[in-house]
Homo-oligomer: A and B are copies of this chain.
Amino acid sequence: MAGKITMDDIARMAGVTKSTVSRYFNGGSVKESTRERIQEIIEEYNYEPNAFARLKARESNVIGVVVPTLNSKITSRVVTSIGRYLRDQGYETLIKDSDHSTELELKNLQRLITLNVDGILFSAINITEEHRSLIQNSPIPVVVLAQDYPQGICVVYDDYGAGRTMGEYIGSRSRGPVGYMGVEESDEAVGVTRKQGVLDGLKKCSAAEVILAAGDYSYESGVRMARELLDQGPLGAIICATDRLAFGAYRVLEERGLQAGKDVSVVGFGGYDESTLLKPPLTTLQFDSYGLGYLGAETLLKRTRGEPVPKKQIVDFHMIEGNSVIKEK
């Protein structure tokens, strides 16, 4: 039975009309005594209004979130953080998974718009012209997460700063050529910005030659790139665009009888839980994913209220030092 009760049922039982019950929920004026009567009935039946039937309401109190995948520790952190913040603020979170498909990203965005949610947190692998046009024309506020978006509001990781920090870190303590295992440039944040940071950081601190490789985000891709780089001769250091790629590098080093932190320095980005489990533990830069989610949600809510928000916000990172970098003597 529970759940098939409507606002009208509650109203009847409380001896009022649904208008009054609606006001009860939406902060309209209701006499203290009726308020109590309504409350009793509600508690007895465990009633909650159907959030999606508020077709005529100004706001739906639901925020949509679209993520490129759910199969990622990072995304999990971001979404968990968003959910916590929104819940505290009395909002529903509607999560849509694009499962690595650009087509689905577009569809999900479109769908959230027609669902008339109050706002959208949008995270995509890369933002195409179509994404842009959809976001631009959206009657609903959209905040873009983890990708730069000059046409609108975004909250991003400090990819350039992180890259640069890592570049300087390695540049100042490594000798010999440096290999960089990156990802395709279609991913702005990681493929372009992070890489540029690394290159600039290295250049500032060392004259070492840099050899570039590029692939996708998979473990296998890491293995392939590491082989490709090492086949070209000995390396002083390998900088990997993500920890997962570094896992692949570890595997290849082992195959070749080399040891990270002794024969060659290896570093990554991400600060995955498993990186501390490696032997030796990986030195890596961790981004503040919880901060990203929190800030994104907060910013979006401000937007929906028409409050001013920064066009772009950058969240911090910090280094987790493992033992994978050759010690200076």
Tell me if A's interface is mostly helix, strand, loop or mixed.
Answer: mixed
- The residues of B that contact A51 with a CB separation of less than 8 Å are 111, 114-115
Stretch at the interface among A42-50, A166-174, A319-327: A42-50
- Residue of B at shortest CB range from A4? B139
A114 touching B3 by the CB < 8 A rule? yes
What is the interface size of chain A, counting residues whose CB is below 8 A from a CB of the partner?
Answer: 52
The smallest beta-carbon distance between A214 and chain B, in angstroms, is 23
Within the oligomer, what is the number of copies of this chain? Answer: 2
A106 (CB) vs chain B CBs: closest residue: B46
Q: How far is the CA of A95 from the CA of B97 in the complex (A)?
A: 9
Q: Shortest distance in angstroms between A221's beta carbon and chain B's nearest beta carbon? A: 15
| In the bound complex, CA of A273 to CA of B272 (Å) | 12
- Judge if A80 is at the interface, Cβ distance under 8 Å: yes
Cβ < 8 Å to B, chain A residues 89-134: 92-97, 99, 104, 110-111, 113-116, 134
The reply to whether B137 and A2 form a contact with Cβ atoms under 8 Å apart is yes
Chain B contacts of A76 at CB under 8 A? 70-72, 76
Residues of A in contact with B (beta carbons under 8 Å apart)? 1-4, 46-53, 55, 69-73, 76-77, 79-80, 83-84, 87, 92-97, 99, 104, 110-111, 113-116, 134, 137-140, 247, 250, 272-274, 277-279
Can you offer 29 A-B residue contacts whose CB atoms are under 8 A?
A: A1-B137, A1-B139, A2-B137, A3-B113, A3-B114, A3-B140, A48-B114, A49-B114, A50-B114, A50-B116, A51-B111, A51-B114, A52-B53, A70-B70, A70-B79, A70-B80, A70-B83, A71-B73, A71-B76, A79-B97, A80-B97, A80-B99, A87-B99, A87-B104, A247-B277, A273-B274, A277-B277, A278-B279, A279-B279
